[in-house]
Amino acid sequence: MGSRSVEGEQASLADDYDALISTTDVVLLKRAWRNEKAAPEILHFESDLITRVREQIELMEETVEEKSTVGTDPLSVSLYQMDLDRTLFLLRSYLRIRIQKIEKYMFHLRKTEELWNRLSKDEKFFTERCTDDFKKHLEESVLSKLPENYQSYERQSVISEEDDMVPEPRLDTFVLCRSKEYLTGIQLEDGPVDDRSKLFEMEPDVLYFICYKSIKPLVESGKIDLL
Amino acid sequence: MDPLCLISGDFGPFTPQIVTQVPLWLAIALKKRGKCSICPPQWMTVEKLTQVLEVERDSQEMSEHLPFHYVEISRLLFDHARDNIPDAYMVRSLIEDIRDVRFHKVETDLEGFNGRTIAVKIKNLSAMEVNIVRPFIGRALQAFYKHDSSELIPDPERAPDRRPQVAHNAPRRQLRR
């Protein structure tokens, strides 16, 4: 059977195609995955998106099983399976990146209210168990044997002013980003004191390397995509 | 063949000799099983690419006629669908040339960093180039930021070092003096 497929940005069809693909969950999941990968701190958990994607995947798994027993041509079964694998990969990778970030910064997450609210229920459960186990391990193996003033797992010693043994994510890393619309009024956080009040603007669809701190609220509201 | 209802979307009934639009991975899968032939994208012809190469060589800016993932797309199409591309060797060598010219431009841009760059803006960079320079730019800007932020007292006598926005300069905004 010969069928011809077209791939590429043919101008007349490009807009329709873009509109079509922008409405699927897979595209949203891909965006969330990319943002999560590029950001130095953990972002908000897209619980609605993930539940929808999970349902679709389960449905698709049932369909594939059905089709392979019924005896439809193996070509379409393998195509369905490929699509399923691709979506599963996105989902798994998204969850894995989040878990990696949790494991790196778990004490900090427990302490900070704002970040704690970004986790899903399962992640919160995981973080609690993780922090408890890790604390216990540290206390039993090392801290109980140190002199009195140095036994906290959060501070170097009782005289430290802050919790300096807790690793925090570095928010001043530079990230690559792109905005979809014309944005003005971004305050740049870094730089010499006299320049700090300068406002920055971003044109749509142009790539920028910029300090993550400066664009944090825009990433959360979805106006800027990280690459 | 029946329409496919995938998670990523619905792709229409496949009839022989009728052109249908599908995502790249699907097209490659079908091509591997010998079920279809792929029409090369519009930008992938000898004429268009020669045009793009001329534009790249003449101006300092990046050409905007190439899609973001042109390297990856062209690589995949060469590997799997070489017979569907007219003048494959010519197209391939043109794309290689374009890659070299663009990357050279990027490299010369990067040399222009100094302590006062707070953000870098480059238009029309492609995915491959972005990923090549990403770690470098990240670490370089980080180092500049670290060393620059310790200068709390700016020097008022320093003459404004305004970078001329001339045509030969890449469109990067330096927001500092």
Per-residue HEC secondary structure of chain A comes to CCEEEECCCCHHHHHHHHHHHCCCHHHHHHHHHHHHHHCCCCCCCCHHHHHHHHHHHHHHHHHHHHHHHHCCCHHHHHHHHHHHHHHHHHHHHHHHHHHHHHHHCHHHHHHCHHHHCCCCHHHHHHHHHHHHHHHHHHHHHCHHHCCHHHCCCCCCCCCCCCCCCCCCCCCCCEEEEEECCCEEEEECCCCCHHHCCCEEEECECCEEEEEHHHHHHHHHHCCEEEC
Counting one residue from chain A and one from chain B, the pairs whose CB atoms sit within 8 A come to 175
**What's residue A66's pLDDT?**
86
Structural domain range at position A212? 170-226
Is residue B100 helix, strand or coil?
helix
The model's confidence at residue B167, banded by pLDDT at 50, 70 and 90, is very low
* This prediction's pTM: 0.78
Report yes or no on A1 lying in a domain. no
**Do A115 and A184 sit in the same domain of this protein?**
no
Same-domain check for residues A194 and A220: yes
Q: What are phi and psi of A186, to 5 degrees?
A: -85, 125
- Tell me whether residue A40 is in a domain: yes
Other C-beta atoms closer than 10 Å to the C-beta of A123 total: 19
In a domain, A3, yes or no: no
Q: Which of A141, A168, A195 is the last residue of a domain?
A: A168
Return the CATH number at A160: 1.20.58.1030
pLDDT at A9: 43
A156 & A203 share domain:
no
CB-CB neighbors (< 8 A) of B43 in chain A: 8-9
- Does residue A42 sit in the same domain as residue A113? yes
User: What six digits make up the tokens of A179?
Assistant: 């905005």
The predicted pLDDT at position B175 comes to 59
Determine whether the interchain pair A176/B14 forms a contact, defined as Cβ–Cβ distance below 8 Å: no
Q: What is the mean pLDDT of chain B?
A: 75
Half-sphere exposure of B68 (CA within 13 A, CB side): 10
A211 and A138 belong to one structural domain: no
Give the pLDDT score at A89: 92
Q: Which of A142, A168, A194 is the last residue of a domain?
A: A168
- Tokens representing A193? 């004191």
| Calpha distance A119→A108 (Å, rounded) | 13
Q: Where among A122, A137, A168 does a domain terminate?
A: A168
If one counts the domains in chain A, the total is 2
CA distances from B32 to A182, B78, B80 (A): 42, 13, 7
Predicted-complex ipTM score: 0.72
The highest-confidence range among A118-122, B84-88, B138-142, B158-162, by mean pLDDT, is: A118-122
The per-residue pLDDT for B161 is 41
User: Closest residue of A to B14, CA-based?
Assistant: A3
Whether residues A6 and B26 touch (CB distance < 8 A) is answered with no
**A128 and A212 both lie in a single domain:** no
Residue A116 domain-assigned (yes or no):
yes
- B interface test, pick of A197, A209, A213 with most B CB neighbours within 10 Å: A209
Q: Are A160 and A201 in contact (CB under 8 A)?
A: no
Mean pLDDT of successive 10-residue stretches along chain A, which has 227 residues: 44 51 76 88 86 89 85 81 90 92 86 85 89 88 80 73 76 80 68 55 78 80 81
Which residues lie below 8 Å from residue A201, measured CB to CB, with a gap of 6+?
A182, A183, A184, A185, A186
Q: Which residues of A touch B69 (CB under 8 A)?
A: none
What CATH number should be reported for the domain holding residue A206?
3.40.5.60
**Which residues in chain A are closer than 8 Å to B177, comparing Cβ atoms?**
195
Same domain, A156 and A175: no
Question: Model confidence over B33-70: pLDDT tens digits?
Answer: 888 888 888 888 888 888 888 888 887 777 777 788 88
In contact, A109 and A34? CB cutoff 8 Å? no
Both structure tokens of B75: 């690589």
